Structure 1
Amino acid sequence: MQIRPRHRAPRVRAAAAALTSALALSALGTVPAAAAGTSTAKPVTCTAATTKVTVQKVQRPLNHLLLTATNTGSKPCYAYNAPYLRFDDDQASTFVLRDSVPQAVVTLEPGESAYAAIGTQSPEGTHGYQAHRLGVLFSNRAMDGSVGGWARPKLPTGGVYVDSSAFVTYWQPNRADALRW
């Protein structure tokens, strides 16, 4: 028995490939804004001037804070990489937890938020102190510098104990993803 190729087979394969690509883009959150029903304004890099940055203590996991950046601008913005943190007058920024890289850059429509977890201490940490101030800078796309000025969210009353093991995660699209680290 001889099987003849069908003339529609290339069209079916092309349609299947297009559908697969569209589904993959949708899963990655990269569907064009018009298709997703969101604004068509070109996103800019999130900065302290276009967001409201807050920090709060969480019960679980222990010794963690949740950093939230909410887009207060009129255009979408990208929360690239991880925030740069500085407690009090530290000479160096807080260690970035590389294992927390999300699958895609977090894009914030106006009113939406990105989240990053801050681990403040661990039994392995040394040189601990009570921090009373926090400075936050947003990363540029290349993660080799910052954009905009400092955001200065208020730490919980009385400050936060921080030691050498402190870390921050990359920006995440939701609280649960941020706090799993």
Structure 2
Amino acid sequence: MTRGNKAISKAAAVAALGALLLASTACEESGADGSAGSKASGRPGTTSSPKAGQTASATARDGSGNTGGDSGNGVGTAVVACAADGVAFSATSQDEEGKSVRHLLLTVTNTGNKRCHLYQYPYLKFAGARSPIAVIKDSEDAPVTLAPGEKAYAALLATGGRMDTYDTDTLPLSLQGPDPGSKASEPLNIDLPGQVPFDDGARVTYWTTASGLALRFIMTS
């Protein structure tokens, strides 16, 4: 073989080897890309998509848990106005023993087994009176909601220093509805601590859950 032929044969062998190396590299890169792509597409499916069973369980727990709890606590059910047959009343003197009774604390207790709203103030109107005892408007508060066993209070000033008085040992009290003057019960005769004189200056506060706050409106009178 001549020197020229040897050179040609050597060149051809180098070219063939180069082509073989290129082909091998291309195959490896293609395989790597395919593997990476497979892994990348697999990750979101396992980490961001929760299992169907877990999702259904969480939803059911949140929904049924809240609903059951609210129902058990009475939340979400309509709360009606307190009825006369579901409460008890009392009237106590706030004056020193031996003095004429002018300052009274009215107490109402929820004796039922459901919550109820206590609206406005005690509606107090004696038989034959032209109008009910006036309310102290500055004592207005939000309607009181009483759970079973809870109490609310209203303070009553029996006399305002007027001349004509009416002595009585019972107090006709009616519960009110959401609208002022609307009665939620017929008058109940509440026993007073002895004979108490009333006149046209009598005043009563709104219902409140704080007895001290109610009395503050009448004790300076």
Q: Which TM-score applies when normalising by structure 2?
A: 0.59
CA positional deviation for 1:88: 5.5
Q: Deviations over 1:107-137 (max 9, x none)?
A: 10010011000001123x2321212221110
Q: Which position in structure 2 is the counterpart of 1:177?
A: 213
Assess if the C-alpha contact under 8 Å between 2:123 and 2:181 holds in 1: no
Looking at secondary structure, tell me which structure has more helix per residue. Answer: 2
Query: 1: distance between equivalents of 2:152 and 2:128?
Result: 25
Q: Which position in structure 1 is the counterpart of 2:153?
A: 115
Query: 1: distance between equivalents of 2:138 and 2:180?
Result: 15
Assess if the C-alpha contact under 8 Å between 2:176 and 2:185 holds in 1: no
If asked which structure has higher relative contact order (CA below 8 Å, sep 6+), I would say 1
| Residue 145 of structure 2 corresponds to residue 130 of structure 1 | no
Q: Which position in structure 2 is the counterpart of 1:7?
A: none
Q: Which position in structure 2 is the counterpart of 1:164?
A: 200
Q: Which position in structure 2 is the counterpart of 1:59?
A: 95
The one-letter code of the counterpart of 2:197 is Y
Q: Which position in structure 2 is the counterpart of 1:3?
A: none
Change (3 A) 1:107 1:120: same
Q: Which position in structure 1 is the counterpart of 2:186?
A: 149
CA positional deviation for 1:91: 3.8
Mark the runs of 5 or more structure 1 residues left unpaired by the alignment: 1-33
The one-letter code of the counterpart of 2:116 is C
Output the aligned Cα RMSD.
2.1
Q: Which position in structure 2 is the counterpart of 1:106?
A: 144
Q: Which position in structure 2 is the counterpart of 1:13?
A: none
SS for the counterpart of 2:187 is strand
Query: 1: distance between equivalents of 2:124 and 2:83?
Result: 14
SS for the counterpart of 2:193 is coil
Query: 2: distance between equivalents of 1:162 and 1:144?
Result: 21
The one-letter code of the counterpart of 2:113 is S
Q: Deviations over 1:5-25 (max 9, x none)?
A: xxxxxxxxxxxxxxxxxxxxx
Query: 1: distance between equivalents of 2:213 and 2:73?
Result: 23
Q: Deviations over 1:14-72 (max 9, x none)?
A: xxxxxxxxxxxxxxxxxxxx69x954353210121111011111137x72111111011
Q: 1:44 aligns with which of 41, 66, 80?
A: 80
Q: 1:95 aligns with which of 118, 134, 137?
A: 134
SS for the counterpart of 2:213 is helix
Larger Rg: 2
SS for the counterpart of 1:121 is coil
112-121 or 83-92, which deviates more? 83-92
Query: 2: distance between equivalents of 1:154 and 1:144?
Result: 23
SS for the counterpart of 2:214 is helix
Q: Which position in structure 2 is the counterpart of 1:16?
A: none
132-141 or 82-91, which deviates more? 82-91
**How many positions carry a matched residue from both structures?**
143
Q: Which position in structure 2 is the counterpart of 1:9?
A: none
